[in-house]
Amino acid sequence: MKTQKRINLDNVMEEVSEVNHQLAAHGLEDLVDVKVEVMGNQYDTMTPHIVASYTESVMTGYDSDGYGIYDEKESTRIEELNKYFSGSLFAMGITQRAAWLKATHAERSKFLGQPGFNHPAEYAA
């Protein structure tokens, strides 16, 4: 792998602060873990990436009656911190699911089990 590129840490911290601010504004600061990790990008260069992890409900199979089986799993969003990164846009991908992330597993499972396509961003408590 190539060596790490020089980055402007002030810009990185400003964008990470914006993500944390948006998550807190939606009451998600305790439900979403945000950190910065250095990892390889598509050019095989080591660069900082923002990593957001949270728990949500996902379908993992079907029972013998054909009904969905739902389990809680950790989901992760990762984005390279570069000149194209926007903290508010990254946070929006998570905050649009605020009600979903705040719901219990039972509530999320019931929503997913309804007929039709049920996207987490459409969940309303």
Longest dimension (CA), the chain: 56
How confident is residue 11, by pLDDT bands cut at 50, 70 and 90? confident
Output Rg (C-alpha) for the chain, integer angstroms: 17
CB atoms within 10 A of CB 32: 23
pLDDT tens sequence across 79-119? 999 888 999 999 999 999 999 999 999 999 999 999 989 99
Average pLDDT of the chain to the nearest whole number: 91
* Ranges of H-type helices in the chain: 9-25, 87-95, 98-102, 105-112
pLDDT tens sequence across 101-112? 999 999 999 999
Q: How far is CA 36 from the centre of its chain?
A: 13
Greater pLDDT, 13 or 36: 36
